[in-house]
């Protein structure tokens, strides 16, 4: 449609000055079509001021500066053009935007001086000169102890406990971990049951009931009793514990079990739901690790089990065993024991133990009680800042594995989630290169695992010659793990009793052992708490642990293709020469080792469970992570684990 037939109704009245655009240069002629001009933002004016007929545009640089505030930049994080180090501004010589980094070795709190008062630690004499043949035992039982158990002589706790149990008395045993308490009640138990006339039948049901706190301890106690019963095949032992099928356990109970070893929860479940279980012939009740059973919340279950036993059998022999004597154990002893014989092997209480007495400790005395430690246990503690705590742990593990002979080590964590996280982290980071450490050398054990997997891990670590077990307190009570050389506690335990049971996994039966307690500066006062319980701990410097990384073996990492990489490689970024801690200056160790570790290919992980280990080049440039010449980018060297990138605190820093 053309413009010839278009009729315009145009008013020829003059246009007021207030409606004229200040930036229109051409004069408007009335009666003619004017094209629409581009709108320009005007400044706000007061009503009293008259608008100027013509406004000047601001200079170009002022307009750009004004619009820069209104417009949102495309980049999410603007990299600063200069960085501040040690309170001084430092410009980038190449003109590139600098990257903010968090240093592991700067801005750490001061490590306080540890005041270690002189402590006379209680000691127990582990072995005695008496032999099992000196007791009135069955010859086949004595031969089994010497050949199968490899124990020709009795320990001190066995020397006092076995005669009292053979005499038919109730016994309360308090002795250090690793002193042979399982054999102390197992030998008289087997001796008493093999002499029962008429001979015990499997269908008779339980003659002895053994309560233990954890599943692993139940398996270990079952294996020990089974070895002692090797000459007496008519006595049948059995074990009940959580995680197993109830149907198979009920079938075993119907066939008959003479020595029943169980955890309190599963036993109470069968008492309520299984009709075939009965205790009419029960003659023994043994509660092993009694304090731990009560700490785990089984006090009501134990009370219900005692009521079921009392309703079916009135006369039985009771034994309570523990490495620590808590107020709960004292209450349980008052309820279940009848005129007990108290066995305590510590030097200060040896006179009471030999003469035998009742357990008379109130709550106040038990809280400030002293603990006997193995004589050949060397205890150490190190205080490290929070940022260096993981570095100290990883360096210590790698140092004991590589610089010394391969160690068999247990590392305790406070929760199941921490065990899973550090197992994934350490098995990925510490197994690269020539460390001679594989992912199979790292094992984990905690309460959230399936029972089949827990049993497999327990058996694997028991039979192996070297390995590292990351676990919670499920492995802290009663377990006899042979040849364990180091116990590491990643954080302060909740009480001194937990500390005793953890370090008791090593230096058992007179063997050598060592322990390390890793604390942060705010936890340094925990050493004073240990001193109040007569536990002497020597200090180990963090710098001494990190100095292992300066050794030549640590700085040689093998590539995936078989080539070696060292600090002299031309493709490596320059290293920092020194590290600054809060109190001392030492050669940079962890940075150097991590830069060498960067030659390795980052471990690949599942995309469903892990965050991405690398980012695109364009995204890296927007974040200011420009790769250095000849070396991989900082982002591409980041290895990730669930919910937290490892590179956040372990990736090497750019100079």
CB 317 within 8 A of CB 284: yes
Q: Are residues 461 and 510 in the same domain?
A: yes
Q: State the pLDDT at residue 111.
A: 82
Extract long-range pairs of 612-616: CB within 8 Å, 24+ residues apart: 612/640, 613/638, 613/639, 613/640, 613/645, 614/638
In a domain, 611, yes or no: no
Q: State the pLDDT at residue 406.
A: 78
Instruction: Classify burial at 349, counting beta carbons within 10 Å of its beta carbon; exposed 0-12, middle 13-18, buried 19 or more.
Output: middle
> Tell me: the pLDDT tens digits for 13-51?
555 554 444 444 445 555 555 555 555 555 555 555 555
Q: Are residues 191 and 258 in the same domain?
A: yes
Choosing from 486, 515, 549, the residue where a domain stops is 549
Q: Are residues 406 and 353 in the same domain?
A: no
Which ranges of the chain have pLDDT less than 50?
Answer: 18-26, 68-69, 72, 74-90, 348-368, 555, 557-617, 620-621, 623, 625-655
Q: State the pLDDT at residue 76.
A: 47
Q: Are residues 279 and 183 in the same domain?
A: yes
Global pTM reads 0.65
> Tell me: the pLDDT tens digits for 215-259?
999 999 999 999 999 999 999 999 999 888 999 999 999 999 999
* Count of domains for the chain: 2
Contacts of 187 by beta carbon, 8 Å cutoff, 6+ apart? 132, 137, 141, 145, 158, 162, 228
CATH for 541: 3.40.50.300
CB 516 within 8 A of CB 488: yes
Q: Are residues 232 and 379 in the same domain?
A: no
d(CA 567, CA 593): 9
CB 500 within 8 A of CB 371: yes
Q: Which domain, by its residues, includes 412?
A: 373-549
Q: State the pLDDT at residue 104.
A: 73
Q: Are residues 360 and 384 in the same domain?
A: no
Q: Are residues 301 and 418 in the same domain?
A: no
Q: Are residues 354 and 377 in the same domain?
A: no
């Amino acid at each position: 449609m053309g413009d010839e037939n278009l009729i315009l109704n145009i008013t020829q009245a003059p246009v007021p000055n207030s409606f004229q655009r200040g930036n229109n240069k051409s004069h408007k002629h009335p009666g003619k079509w004017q094209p629409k001009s581009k709108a320009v933002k005007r400044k706000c004016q007061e009503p009293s001021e008259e608008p100027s007929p013509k406004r000047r545009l601001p200079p170009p640089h002022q307009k750009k500066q004004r619009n820069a505030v209104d417009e949102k930049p495309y980049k999410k994080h603007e990299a600063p053009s200069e960085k501040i180090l040690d309170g001084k501004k430092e410009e980038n010589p190449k003109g590139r935007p600098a990257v903010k980094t968090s240093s592991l070795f700067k801005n750490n709190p001061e490590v306080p001086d540890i005041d270690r008062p002189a402590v006379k630690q209680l000691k127990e004499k582990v072995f005695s000169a008496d032999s099992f043949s000196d007791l009135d035992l069955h010859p086949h039982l004595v031969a089994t102890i010497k050949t199968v158990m490899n124990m020709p002589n009795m320990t001190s706790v066995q020397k006092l406990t076995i005669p009292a149990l053979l005499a038919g008395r109730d016994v309360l045993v308090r002795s250090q971990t690793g002193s042979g308490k399982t054999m102390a009640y197992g030998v008289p138990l087997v001796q008493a049951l093999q002499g029962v006339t008429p001979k015990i039948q499997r269908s008779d049901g339980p003659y002895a009931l053994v309560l233990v706190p954890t599943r692993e301890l139940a398996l270990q106690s079952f294996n020990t009793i089974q070895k002692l019963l090797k000459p007496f095949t008519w006595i049948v032992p059995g074990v009940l514990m959580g995680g197993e099928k109830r149907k198979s356990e009920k079938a075993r109970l119907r066939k008959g079990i003479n020595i029943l070893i169980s955890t309190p929860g599963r036993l109470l479940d069968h008492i309520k739901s299984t009709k075939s279980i009965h205790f009419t012939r029960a003659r023994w009740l043994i509660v092993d690790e009694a304090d731990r059973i009560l700490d785990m919340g089984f006090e009501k279950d134990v009370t219900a089990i005692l009521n079921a036993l009392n309703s079916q059998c009135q006369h039985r022999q009771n034994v309570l065993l523990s490495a620590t004597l808590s107020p709960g154990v004292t209450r349980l002893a008052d309820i279940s024991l009848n005129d007990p014989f108290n066995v305590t092997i510590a030097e200060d209480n040896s006179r009471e133990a030999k003469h035998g007495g009742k357990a008379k400790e109130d709550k106040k005395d038990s809280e400030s009680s002293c603990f006997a430690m193995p004589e050949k246990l060397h205890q150490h503690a190190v205080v490290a800042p929070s940022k260096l705590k993981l570095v100290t742990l990883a360096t210590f593990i790698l140092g004991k594995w590589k610089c010394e002979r391969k160690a068999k080590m247990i590392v305790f964590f406070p929760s199941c989630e921490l065990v899973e996280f550090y197992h994934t982290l350490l098995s990925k980071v510490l197994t690269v290169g020539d460390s001679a450490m594989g992912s199979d050398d790292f094992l984990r054990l905690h309460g959230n695992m399936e029972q089949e997997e827990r049993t497999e891990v327990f058996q694997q670590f028991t039979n192996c010659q070297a390995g590292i077990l990351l676990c919670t307190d499920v492995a802290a009570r009663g377990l006899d793990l042979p040849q364990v050389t180091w116990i590491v506690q990643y954080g302060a335990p909740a009480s001194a009793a937990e500390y005793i049971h953890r370090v008791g996994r090593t230096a058992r039966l007179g063997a050598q052992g060592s322990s390390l307690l890793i604390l942060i500066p705010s936890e340094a006062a925990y050493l004073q708490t240990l001193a109040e319980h007569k536990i002497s701990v020597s200090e180990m410097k963090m710098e001494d642990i990190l100095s292992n990384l300066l050794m030549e073996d640590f700085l040689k990492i093998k590539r995936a293709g078989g080539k070696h990489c060292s600090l002299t490689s031309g493709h490596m970024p320059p290293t920092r020469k020194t590290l600054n801690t809060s109190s001392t200056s030492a050669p940079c160790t962890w940075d150097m080792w991590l830069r060498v570790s960067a030659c390795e290919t980052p471990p690949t992980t599942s995309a469903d469970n892990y965050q991405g280990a690398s980012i695109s080049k364009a995204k890296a440039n927007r974040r200011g992570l420009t790769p250095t010449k000849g070396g991989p980018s900082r982002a591409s060297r980041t290895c990730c684990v669930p919910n937290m990138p490892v590179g956040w605190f372990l990736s090497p820093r750019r100079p």
